[in-house]
Structure 1
Amino acid sequence: MSDEPVIQEEKKEEEVTKEQYLRLAADFENYKKMIERQLADAIKFANQSVVLAMIEVMDHFDQVIAHAPESTRASTEWYQGLEQTGKSFHEAMRQYGVERIETEGKQFDPTVMEAVSQMSEGPPDKVCSEIRAGYKMHERVIRPARVIIYK
């Protein structure tokens, strides 16, 4: 009796085992890469809740600047100091990957904006005005902009 059929069968089993091993090794590498990406994202967005709290504070600060009396705006170093503080704060946020979402005059984009009201006169689906600024952190929306759009 020849050993040839047994050898052929063992070679087939060896090939199957080798393919399974290679698939398993590739799956493990993909798993490692996925875990590394998830960890990098977790680190990148770990301070998101702090950033959102700071954005709320900045909203109030921006309202103070926007509602300052005209006489205060033009003539005092105090107001200029407030403006500079606001600019510095926004720049610091940019350094940490936080960007304001531009909305004024743009086409409505539901991925970064929430429409809270509509106006009848104007180009359809264009942003008429912004109610609350929206922000992205490392290209991920962390707070959508609230806008009024034209019908």
Structure 2
Amino acid sequence: MQEEQNENPAFDDSQEENEIQEKVEDEVSNEALQLQISELKEQYMRAYADFENTKKRLIRDKDQALEYAYEKIAKDLLPSLDTLEIALKSIQDSKINAEESDSILSKIEEGIALTLDNLLKTLAKHGIEPISTDGGFDPNFHDAIMQVQSDAHESGEIVAVMQKGYKYKERVLRPSMVSIAK
């Protein structure tokens, strides 16, 4: 009977068809798996790229936050600078007006001048510097609070500084309050 099955061409064809069918199914299954692997690799690469970009952004943000960490305290110190400068100027004005050379007044003036100088040096050491008002008006660094008629200055040129401006590194903490020529 086995001889009949081996000799039966229909049985051989059926067995061959089954083997071919299994191979085709295996190939289709392999192709689907390869496609799925490819998609997963692509998703992984995108996620990894997003992670790297986020990591770089966080490092950049942290570095920038550290670089400008003193900005708030710098802004808070500016009124003290203003007060010292006003005190020094009023002492100088009273000496000129009264034409006195009183030693007490001179010592107070000297003390305020030294304190102001020391404070300015300390601030400069940490990147805080006055904004230059020499030359023309620059809206990035100056606020024009009034315009005055001046024969000695060209139009748009700074005539007087009402309040000094300061910058921390390249950022403006406070613009200079100036009057400009018409």
Q: TM-score, normalised by structure 1?
A: 0.78
**Identity %, equivalent residues:** 27
Q: Which moved more, 1:108-117 or 1:76-85?
A: 76-85
Quote the offset at 1:100 in angstroms: 0.9
Matching residue of 1:26: 49
State which structure, 1 or 2, has the greater radius of gyration over its C-alpha atoms: 2
Which of the two has greater strand per residue?
1
Residues 2 and 92 of structure 1: CA distance in aligned 2, closer, same or farther (over 3 Å): same
How do residues 1-150 of structure 1 correspond to structure 2 at under 5 angstroms? 1=24, 14-68=37-91, 69-70=95-96, 71-72=100-101, 76-105=106-135, 107-121=136-150, 122-150=153-181
Which blocks of at least 5 consecutive residues in structure 2 are unaligned?
1-23
CA distance in 2, matches of 1:3, 1:123: 88
Structure number with greater CO (CA < 8 Å, separation at least 6) is: 1
Alpha carbons 1:133, 1:144 under 8 Å: kept:
yes
Q: TM-score, normalised by structure 2?
A: 0.67
Alpha carbons 1:104, 1:128 under 8 Å: kept:
no
**Deviations, residues 99-150 of structure 1 (Å, cap 9, x unaligned):** 1111132x22212221111124332322222111111112111111111122
Aligned-pair RMSD on alpha carbons? Answer: 2.9
Which blocks of at least 5 consecutive residues in structure 1 are unaligned?
none
Aligned length: 150
Which of the two has greater helix per residue?
2
